[in-house]
Amino acid sequence: MVPSAEQTPQATPSAEDDLNTAIQAAAQATTGDERETLTAVLDYMRASVVAKVAGLNEEEARRRLVPSLTTPAGMLRHLTVVERNWFQVVLLGESAAKLGLVSSGGDESWEVPDEATVASLIEEYKRACAESRAAAAGLALDHTVAQHELGQVSLRWILVHMVEETARHAGHVDILREQINAAARQG
């Protein structure tokens, strides 16, 4: 079931508009072809993450509520790195170093630079997602590339993996947002 945008608390107007657009596309893709369905669900998950982080202040976005580096801001940073790794490095064969990636998604990818803001992290994530869409657009789902741990992977597999990765972290950020909102109500 695709939830409504009203179920996303305190999203900024732009993030809410993006989420509404993604919800509509995902709803229309329920009878779409494989590519349309995969990309619509992935875009819905991407928009969900942004909507959950949008509207947080800088302190809230960096607040550590669990022992790991998992914060809403860290989530955006990590997902940005993962997008670039899978679509730019793996799919297109670009250099991770040239893209400034210090990690393919490990602990370093959760570290948020001091100068980063919620707005800059959201914009960078959106830019990475747009680059990912462009990278995948001209390739068949059966297009395969080498991945150093898995061997050959198809674009189809990358899209499914990114749906799983993004959806899992959307759930994490949803829980973090609930905790932040509850603390704000109590404080």
**Quick check: 135 pLDDT over 70?**
yes
15 lies in some domain: yes
User: CATH no. for residue 94?
Assistant: 1.20.120.450
**Quick check: 10 pLDDT over 70?**
no
What is the reported pLDDT for 11? 54
Contacts (Cβ under 8 Å, ≥6 apart) of 160: 38
pLDDT by residue (tens digit) across 50-72? Answer: 999 998 999 999 999 988 889 99
**134-144 mean pLDDT:** 97
27 lies in some domain: yes
Number of folded domains that form the chain: 1
What is the reported pLDDT for 109? 87
What is the reported pLDDT for 104? 67
173 lies in some domain: yes
Burial 145-165 (b: 16+ CB within 10 A, else e): bebeeeeebbbbbbbeebbeb
187 lies in some domain: no
**159-184 mean pLDDT:** 94
What is the reported pLDDT for 7? 42
184 lies in some domain: no
58 lies in some domain: yes
**Quick check: 35 pLDDT over 80?**
yes
Distance CA 71, CA 75 (A): 6
* Residue range of the domain that includes 175: 5-179
Q: By three-state DSSP, how is residue 45 classified?
A: helix
Distance CA 125, CA 49 (A): 10
pLDDT more than 90, % of the chain: 70
| pTM summary value | 0.87
User: Mean pLDDT of all residues in the chain?
Assistant: 89
Q: Which H or E run includes 152? A: strand 151-154
